[in-house]
Structure 1
C-alpha cells in the first residue's frame, strides 16, 4: 500500500536544511536529497492542510527531535539575524509499498520565515530542542495590521513586492464596480 511523506525544506544562508515528519533514520527522495527525521506536533497536519488549501496564509510548526548538527546550524543563522525572510517549503512525496519514493516530490506550500523560537528542555538523557517556526506566504502581504482595508495605492505597492514582474494589480480598482452588479444563475431549459 502506498503512502505519503511530509517533507520540509528550509533555505537558510548557511545552506539548505531538509526534514521529514517521522522517526527513524534519514529519508532519501527520488532526487537523492537527504531529509532528516523530525516530529511535527499533532495540530501541524491540520495547519499544513489549511495552508495547502489556501485557507490560512500563515503556518506555525513546531519541529522536535532535530539532531544537534541541524539545531546548531539553525542557531548560528538565528544569532546572525539571517533567519527571517528565509524560504520555507512543505512538499509531499509519494512512496511505494516499501516506503521508497516514486516520482518527484510536489511543492504544496511556499512561504518565508517570519519568526522562529527555540524551546530547550533539559532531562536526564540530555537537552531536547524544539523549534517553533512561523511561516507567512504571499497572501500575508494583503493584510494590514490595524485591520483597515487596503487602498488601491497600497494594493499596487504590495503587489509589486510580492510579484515584481507582473503587470499592475487592478484588484482594488475593480472591486467597487462589482457592488452594483447582480449575479444571475444560468437558466436551464
Structure 2
C-alpha cells in the first residue's frame, strides 16, 4: 500500500445539522462511512493552527474557511442568527488516502472542541464575491490560559479540575489555601 495523500476533514455539528468540509478544491469527498464533505479552503493561518493541534500545542483553533459557496456562507450566517451555535462540537480529522484517492482506514482525530464564536464575511474582487467563514474553536485546555495573568478563581479551579479528571471528588484547593495563611509552620527541633 502506498500513501498518496492526506485529506483534512472538518465536522461542525450544529444543533440540527452537521456541516462537513474538506480542505481542497474539486468535487465532493465521500468518506468510508458515506458522509459527504464539500470542498473549502482553509487559510494558511488555519493550517498552521491545525499543525499546532496535531502536535498537542493548541488549546484554541481559529478556522477560516474561504472559497465556500455564497449560499453555504449565507446558510451559516442565518443559522447563527436564528439559533445560537456556541458550544457546538467541531472535529478536525486527517484521512489517509490510498493510491486511488480512496479512504484507507478510519480518519485520525487531531483536534476536537466547541465553537466559541462564528463570523461570516464576504470579500468582493474582480473575480467575484468570496465568502469566508471564521470559527473560533476552544477545547478543554482553554481554561489553562488566563489572559489577564491572574490566578484561577475557586469556580474556575473547580471547572478546570472537573474537566481534567471528571471522576474525582470536588476540588477544594482554593478553599484550603486561604486557611493556610493563618497557620504557622514549625519545623521539628531534633
TM-score by length of 2: 0.80
What is the rounded CA distance, in whole Å, between the counterparts of 2:113 and 2:159 in structure 1? Answer: 19
Match of 1:7 in 2: 9
Distance 1:38 1:167, change over 3 A: same
- Which range moves more in the overlay, 163-172 or 22-31? 163-172
Distance 1:76 1:102, change over 3 A: same
- Which range moves more in the overlay, 90-99 or 68-77? 68-77
**Which of structure 1's runs of 4+ aligned residues deviate more than 4 A?**
169-173
Distance 1:171 1:105, change over 3 A: farther
Q: CA deviation at 1:73?
A: 2.5
Match of 1:86 in 2: 88
How many pairs align?
Answer: 173
> Which ranges in structure 1 are unaligned for 5 or more consecutive residues?
177-189
- What does 1:86-165 correspond to in 2, within 5 Å? 86-123=88-125, 126-150=128-152, 154-160=156-162, 162=163, 165=166
RMSD: 2.5
Q: CA deviation at 1:152?
A: 6.2
Q: Is the 8 A contact 2:73 2:120 kept in 1?
A: no
> Which ranges in structure 2 are unaligned for 5 or more consecutive residues?
178-190
